[in-house]
């Protein structure tokens, strides 16, 4: 089973500047974030080698939260070649995430 990439201020640009990335802003105290965890884990395996599945702990990475104007968690950014192409706020379905990644590949 693969593992999602943990992003921080130091590695964010180098990982998201090329290809397709799903970036999940989450927090340990957030119930909907915890509901998304098993879905994110599934997507890691499904899209291994095709897309970056990433998480950012919003409590620990305040610079990135500010940079992207994140006001609630979970917030998921879809990034293609360094450009944000869509943002989803709140818990969403596995199929919606899968469909969006596939549309960007």
Could you give the residue numbers annotated as active site?
30, 33
Q: Could you tell me if 99 and 51 are in contact, meaning their C-beta atoms sit under 8 angstroms apart?
A: no
The first and second tokens of residue 75, run together, are: 């917030």
The number of residues making up the chain comes to 105
Please name every residue paired with 6 in a beta bridge, in sequence order, or none if there are none: 55
């Amino acid at each position: 089973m693969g593992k999602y990439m943990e992003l921080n201020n130091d590695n964010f640009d180098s990982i998201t500047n090329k290809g397709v990335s799903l970036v999940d802003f989450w927090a340990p105290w957030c119930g909907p974030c915890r509901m998304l965890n098993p879905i994110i884990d599934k997507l890691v395996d499904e899209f291994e080698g095709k897309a970056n599945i990433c998480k950012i702990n919003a409590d620990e990475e305040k610079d990135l939260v500010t940079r992207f104007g994140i006001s609630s968690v979970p917030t998921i950014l879809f990034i293609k070649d360094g450009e944000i192409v869509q943002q989803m706020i709140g818990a969403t379905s596995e199929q919606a995430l899968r469909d969006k990644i596939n549309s960007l590949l």
